[in-house]
Amino acid sequence: MRAPVLVLGLLAVLGCQAVEVKRPRGVSLSNRVFYDEMKPFTCLDGSKVIPFDRVNDDYCDCTDGSDEPGTSACYNGRFHCTNPGYRPMYIPSSRVNDGICDCCDTTDEYNSGVHCQNTCREMGRKEREELEKKAEMAREGMLLKQQYIEDARKGREEKQARLQEMVEKRQSSQAEVDSLRSKKEEAEKPEKEAKEAHKNEWEERREAEKAALEKKQSLEAFTELDQDSDGTLSAEELLSRSELDSDGDGSLSDQEAQDLLAGLQSVDVSTFQESVWPKIKEKYKSKSETPSPPPIEEGADSHPEIQPEEDGDGDGEEGGDDDDDEEEHLDEEHRAPPSKSQGEESEMPPYDDATQQLIDAAQIVRNEFEEASKSLREIEDTIRNLEKEISLDFGSQGEFSYLYGQCYDLTTSEYTYRLCPFNRVTQKPKVGGSETNLGVWSAWAGPENDKFSAMKYDQGTGCWQGPNRSTLVKLYCGKETVVTSTSEPSRCEYLMEFYTPAVCQQPPEIPQQEEHDEL
Ligand code: MAN
């Protein structure tokens, strides 16, 4: 049996002085109390008590491997390297003397013949440098953060004051809008009345003109139809007027002519105007109109033989009786179709001065009202925005408030990602195309004890056959405010890394080399 206890020459620090502490190989200083060479050893899991000389005897007695911390006898043992100059650590005791240097202080390879270099000091130096760099960054970040906190405090006060001011302004602006609305309504009433009166007058005039025109046309028609000029119109006198045909056979029968006269033998001019003319005016063609282009289809279907072939060549027709001058004169007079008088086509004349003055006066008040309403809307928008901003959680000291209203971009090989803190995250293809919403501000999403370490944006554009897009933004301490990476760990679920001084903390003291050493 081998000597049970290997006394290790270890360094202890009292102030800056190293002192040797005896303990079995592979045991940490904190566990040393369990390995008293004067007493039997109790396995650390309490499962067994063995004589002390069976500790590190290269035979595994304890189920937890605690009797063989310095050999590879137990598959589940732990070997402790003190690694002076770097950091202490445990390695599985199965790696002891396996020919591979695991501990930077070389102590795991004490009997394998492998020559290990002690790299602890070098590793410790590198680690301290690294920590120093981080600490420096945290210190610089902290300075900026202090500034942000101070700015946020001032900003919050300003915003509160501005909100207060806007709320008061809204009241007076609302009152102004209300009073201008009344003024507007007051001015619009006479304006409306005057405009309506003007319109009515114009319509009445138009109606009268129309009626007069119609009367004139009907009288002319009567005169023309009353072939024997006896002052009455008989059914017989109508017979030659095939255009008044109602059954579509192309000619006007006795019966049809009588029907037009409502069963009377003949009618005088006033009966004609009252009850016959309204029935025939759409169809009636004055003979004096004949030189004008005929309604080809209608004429061709019914009486092709009596339609004039060319203008002015219809010698056999009734119109041939009139001489050329008279024909031209009549033609001009009857040019407008009876259904569409000149009166109907004309536009409403401009308003008279009194009406125009009322319109102008109303327009001035309308403009004032519109302007006041616009400024009230602007005040309301400002209030809404201020209330929203004030209600946002910008960190325990407002340190994140400087991010509000800002956006930070990161371009990858395919997309430009944009983070607008407390607002939204977007993704835009570099080759062009529209922006995709990767989520709108939802909440702080860090763990309970560090909630300001992550932000959640959700309810973005729907993903085809998937969830709405969302983004988790992880925050890290940095001197600059910058998005350093984006990824899509799961389809349409994005991850962003964002550096900001706002999450920097006072860096911990960097331990000196000796203090580092586990004893
Ligand atoms: C787009 C992008 C991608 C996303 C797919 C899902 O291409 O938003 O990030 O994975 O849509 O279809």
Condensed to tens digits (0 to 9), the pLDDT of residues 184-213 reads 999 999 999 999 999 999 999 999 999 999
pLDDT given at position 61: 97
Report whether pLDDT(336) > 70: no
Domains parsed from the chain with CATH numbers: 21-118 (no CATH), 125-280 (no CATH), 401-503 (2.70.130.10)
Which DSSP letter does residue 339 get?
T
* Model pLDDT for residues 426-457, shown as the tens digit of each residue: 999 999 999 999 999 999 999 999 999 999 99
Handedness of CA 235, 236, 241, 247 (dihedral sign): positive
What does the alpha-carbon distance between residue 424 and residue 468 come to, in Å, rounded to a whole number? 14
Report whether pLDDT(259) > 70: yes
Report whether pLDDT(339) > 50: no
Q: Grade residue 506 by pLDDT with cuts at 50, 70 and 90.
A: confident
Q: Which residue lies with its CA nearest to atom 4 of ligand 1?
A: 492
Report whether pLDDT(340) > 60: no
Which of these, 52, 86, 56, lies nearest to 68 by C-alpha position? Answer: 56
Q: Grade residue 67 by pLDDT with cuts at 50, 70 and 90.
A: very high
Which residue type occupies 376? L
Residues 6+ apart with CB under 8 A from 100: 109, 114
Q: Which residue lies with its CA nearest to atom 3 of ligand 1?
A: 492
Report whether pLDDT(515) > 90: no
431 lines ligand 1 (CB under 6 A): no
488 lines ligand 1 (CB under 6 A): yes
pLDDT given at position 265: 86
Q: Which residues pair with 497 in a beta bridge?
A: 474, 485
Q: Which residue lies with its CA nearest to atom 2 of ligand 1?
A: 492
pLDDT given at position 289: 63
From edge to edge, which strands make up the β-sheet containing 408-411? 408-411, 415-420, 424-429, 436-444, 454-458, 470-477, 493-500, 482-490
Ligand 1 center to residue 443 CA distance, Å?
Answer: 23
Which of these, 15, 17, 34, 122, lies nearest to 80 by C-alpha position? Answer: 34
pLDDT given at position 101: 97
Q: Tell me if residue 382 falls in helix, strand or coil.
A: helix
What is the 3-state secondary structure of 77-106?
CEEEECCCCCCCEEEEHHHCCCCCCCCCCC
* Model pLDDT for residues 127-162, shown as the tens digit of each residue: 999 999 999 999 999 999 999 999 999 999 999 999
pLDDT given at position 513: 57
489 lines ligand 1 (CB under 6 A): no
pLDDT given at position 19: 52
Ligand 1: which of 428, 431, 436 to mutate, judged by most atoms within 8 Å of the beta carbon?
A: 436
Which ligand 1 atom is at minimum distance from the Cα of 438?
A: 8
pLDDT given at position 338: 37
Percent of the chain with pLDDT over 90: 77
Q: Tell me if residue 227 falls in helix, strand or coil.
A: coil
Which of these, 174, 167, 280, 169, lies nearest to 221 by C-alpha position? Answer: 280
pLDDT given at position 452: 98
pLDDT given at position 510: 75
Ligand 1 center to residue 492 CA distance, Å?
Answer: 6
Burial string for 29-41 (b: 16+ CB within 10 Å, else e) reads bebeebbeeeeeb
127 lines ligand 1 (CB under 6 A): no
464 lines ligand 1 (CB under 6 A): yes
pLDDT given at position 17: 42
Mean pLDDT across the chain: 86
Q: Grade residue 342 by pLDDT with cuts at 50, 70 and 90.
A: very low
Ligand 1 center to residue 162 CA distance, Å?
Answer: 42
Per-residue pLDDT, averaged over 73-84, amounts to 95
pLDDT given at position 512: 67
470 lines ligand 1 (CB under 6 A): no
Report whether pLDDT(123) > 60: yes
Which ligand 1 atom is at minimum distance from the Cα of 464?
A: 12
pLDDT given at position 323: 42
Q: Which residue lies with its CA nearest to atom 5 of ligand 1?
A: 492
pLDDT given at position 157: 95
Of all helices (H) and strands (E), which one includes residue 415? strand 415-420
Greater confidence, 298 or 369?
369
Residues 6+ apart with CB under 8 A from 443: 455, 456
